[in-house]
Amino acid sequence: MLNRWKRKGILLVTALVVVMSLAACAGGSNGGNQENRGSVGTPDSNTGTPAADKNGSSNEQEEKLAGKILLNGSSTVYPIALAVAEEFMNLHPEVNIEVASTGSSNGIKAIMNGEADIANASRLIKDEELAKIRENGDDVVQMPVAYDGITVVIHPDNDWAEQMTVQQLNLIWQKDSPVQKWSDVDPSWPDEKINLYGPGTASGTFEYFTEAINGEAKVSREDYVPSEDDNVLVQGVSSDKYALGYFGYSYYIDNADRLKAVAIKPADGVDYVSPSTETINDGTYTPLSREIYMYPLKSALERPEVKAFIEFYLSEEGQELVESVGYVRLPQEKLDANLAHVR
């Protein structure tokens, strides 16, 4: 499951992956196609743009690419971005790509401040963030890159909370929650303290989870162990029988031998649903299924190495990498809509 990409995801540490390869460089640009400035986000899904070829290029003419590309942001998107970056540098050794895992908000701040070319985010960009980028004379394109399901996890020895309702999760995670012990949630559960782990406040996963479970983004109890590094959360829950945490599905899949995923019941009259590729893809794992994104600056898209990287990201080979690190690939129409912005 390509653990090596996940293991590199240390908070605030920039991952510079340098891969030495003799692979020939395939061409990756049709020239400087710059989209009109306007609303961020949803590309026209009816463009019918052809998918990129395996080397991420729609141009048959070979071109040697060189340069440096900076990505910053979501720890959830990080494993995908790092896997794609490493394979792209195999094809184009003169391109260096740095991928930093700092949280969605910090990644968006990085492109706002001109410190990155692409922000990785597990939430939508906010109006005020977009306004700041435009004040600086630039813009972004919102590109979904995969589907993810936020996974609530417990220790493998926990045999009492294998199924939970959204109401129970809200009771635990709401601001000023009275819950301190498992028995506070259900009297039949152990009279033991719940030790909670979750993303930090700069995380898009934190924002999405709190909005889905508590009804308002960033409204949460504060007495838990926070980290933008999901590996820290994995370690905390996997070593504590009475722990509970949440993070992206990929990190659960990569550690399924030492964690247990909780099945979620969203409402009365609805069955409990466990996270899986199928339930995330069909939307039955609700309310914790979501799209995750990259936000390239439009000025960066004028550079051939950035265009070629994004084409590769959205190619069949790139989508195979998405699946290989535990995420759900996008349908072709969404990939085509993204590609319309770089061609």
Is it true that 3-147+292-339 and 151-287 share their CATH fold? Answer: yes
Which class is 3-147+292-339 in CATH? alpha beta
Nearest 5 degrees, angle CA 267-CA 268-CA 274? Answer: 55
pTM above 0.75, yes or no: yes
Q: Quote the CA–CA distance of 130 and 167 in Å, as a whole number.
A: 34
Q: What are the sequence ranges of the domains in the chain?
A: 3-147+292-339, 151-287
What's residue 63's pLDDT? 66
3-state SS string for the chain: CCHHHHHCCCCCCEEECCCCCCCCCCCCCCCCCCCCCCCCCCCCCCCCCCCCCCCCCCCCCCCCCCEEEEEEECCCCHHHHHHHHHHHHHHCCCEEEEEEECCHHHHHHHHHCCCCCEEEECCCCCHHHHHHHHHCCCCECCEEEEEEECEEEECCCCCCCCEEEHHHHHHHHCCCCCCCEHHHCCCCCCCCECEEEECCCCCHHHHHHHHHHHCCCCCCCCCCEECCCHHHHHHHHHCCCCEEEEECHHHHHHCCCCCEECEEECCCCCCCECCCHHHHHHCCCCCCEEEEEEEEECCHHHCHHHHHHHHHHCCHHHHHHHHHCCCECCCHHHHHHHHCCCC
CA end-to-end span of the chain, whole Å?
Answer: 32
Q: Quote the CA–CA distance of 314 and 3 in Å, as a whole number.
A: 22
Q: Please name the CATH architecture into which domain 151-287 falls.
A: 3-Layer(aba) Sandwich (3.40)
Nearest 5 degrees, angle CA 21-CA 23-CA 26? Answer: 130
Per-residue pLDDT of the chain (343 residues; tens, 9 = 90+): 444 444 444 333 333 333 333 333 333 333 333 333 333 444 443 333 333 444 444 443 346 899 999 999 999 999 999 999 999 999 999 999 999 999 999 999 999 999 999 999 999 999 999 999 999 999 999 999 999 999 999 999 999 999 999 999 999 999 999 999 999 999 999 999 999 999 999 999 999 999 999 999 999 999 999 998 999 999 999 999 999 999 999 999 999 999 999 999 998 899 999 999 999 999 999 999 999 999 999 999 999 999 999 999 999 999 999 999 999 999 999 999 999 998 8
**Which residues have C-beta within 8 Å of that of residue 330, sequence separation ≥ 6?**
144, 145, 146, 147, 319, 322
